[in-house]
Structure formats: structure tokens, C-alpha cells
Amino acid sequence: MTNKNQDPESRLGHDPLEWLEEDDDDLVPADAFDESSAEGNSSNASPSNDTASIDAQEQEQEQEQEQEQEQEQGIEPEDTAIDNFSLDGSKGVLTLPDRLMVQIAEDFHANLCAIAKIEVLAELSIDAKKIEDIDTAGVQLLYALVQHLNKKQCTVHIKNTPAVLSKVFQVSGLAEFFEKETHAE
């Protein structure tokens, strides 16, 4: 039972922070630590971090300059090494791989981004004759490409559509979209 007449400190039996009071003599006053000593210490502690960040900044600048030069010159398929793609004037032909699955989605996406950046592209024909297997990642990539190119006023055609691709479009509820937006043949 507690005695209500006791002060709060004695109710606990001890002050949990009393160790701080005892060591006050050893503590450095807060105003003794200034920012200039902190800067000096941090710069001496990690000089390699500074050079690493400078190197990273230089690499970023070089990449930006290269991208600007590519944009000024116009992107050509030969320059971007787009797999299974050819460009003849303003008409492009993309041949889809036999498997358009999540395992290759990242590389395929990079190729599609490069195709989408081609400013002179007015018509894209997607040849789907090789498709044997496609999953939702592949469907999403095709959907995004068609939408993006249509917004850029680029006509998209899907030709040689195999039964497996038609079935996936139908099951995903996108058959009507692909028929309408791609002028499927």
C-alpha cells in the first residue's frame, strides 16, 4: 500500500534518473560542441563517400548527355538494339517471341520502351505467329504498348494471331480492346 502523504519520488523508492545527476561532472556542455567540429569529423571519417558520390554524379551527367544526343539525332532501331524489330521509314514490325512470360518481362519492357520512343513511328505491325505461351505479364506489356502508341496517333496491327493468344485475350476480357485498338488481322 502506498502512503498518500509521501512525495512522488519516495513512492517509487528511488529516482530512476539519479545516475544522470551523479555523472553531471563528466558530461560535456551542449554549447561546447559546435557544427564546425562536427563537419571536420564527418569529412575526415568518410572521404571515400565523397569521391563515390562525385563519381556517381559524373556518371549520371554523362548518361543524361548521351540520352540528349540520342534524342537530338533521333532514335534508330540499330542504335537501341531492339530484339525482333525492324523499321522501314515510319512503319515498324515487331515479332513477338515464342514465350512472353514474366521471366522475360523486364527485357521485353525495355525493348517496348525503346520502340515507343521512336518519333517517326506511325504504324506498328506486331507479328504474333511465334507465340506459344503468354501470361498476364505479357498481356499487360502488350496492352500498355498499344495504349501508349494509340495515344501517340500510331496505328497498331496484330497479325498472325495464334489461338493461344486469342484465348488469353478472351479470358482476360481484353479481346474486344485488342480487336478494336489493334485492327487485328
Give the model's confidence band at 42: pLDDT under 50 very low, under 70 low, under 90 confident, else very high: very low
3-state secondary structure the chain: CCCCCCCHHHHHCCCCCHHHHHCHHHCCCHHHCCHHHHHHHHHHHCHHHHHHHHHHHHHHHHHHHHHHHHHHHCCCHHHHCCCCEEEECCEEEEECCCEECHHHHHHHHHHHHHHHCCCCCCEEEEECCCCCEECHHHHHHHHHHHHHHHHCCCEEEEECCCHHHHHHHHHCCCHHHHHHHHCCC
Q: Does residue 12 register a pLDDT over 90?
A: no
Round the average pLDDT of the chain to a whole number and report it.
Answer: 76
Q: Does residue 124 register a pLDDT over 90?
A: yes
Q: Does residue 79 register a pLDDT over 50?
A: no
Q: Does residue 70 register a pLDDT over 80?
A: no
Question: What is the pLDDT at residue 143?
Answer: 93
Q: Does residue 59 register a pLDDT over 90?
A: no
Q: Does residue 32 register a pLDDT over 60?
A: no
Question: What is the pLDDT at residue 38?
Answer: 47
Question: What is the pLDDT at residue 62?
Answer: 76
> In percent, how much of the chain has pLDDT > 70?
61
Which tens digit of pLDDT belongs to each residue from 145-183?
999 999 999 999 999 999 999 999 999 999 999 888 776
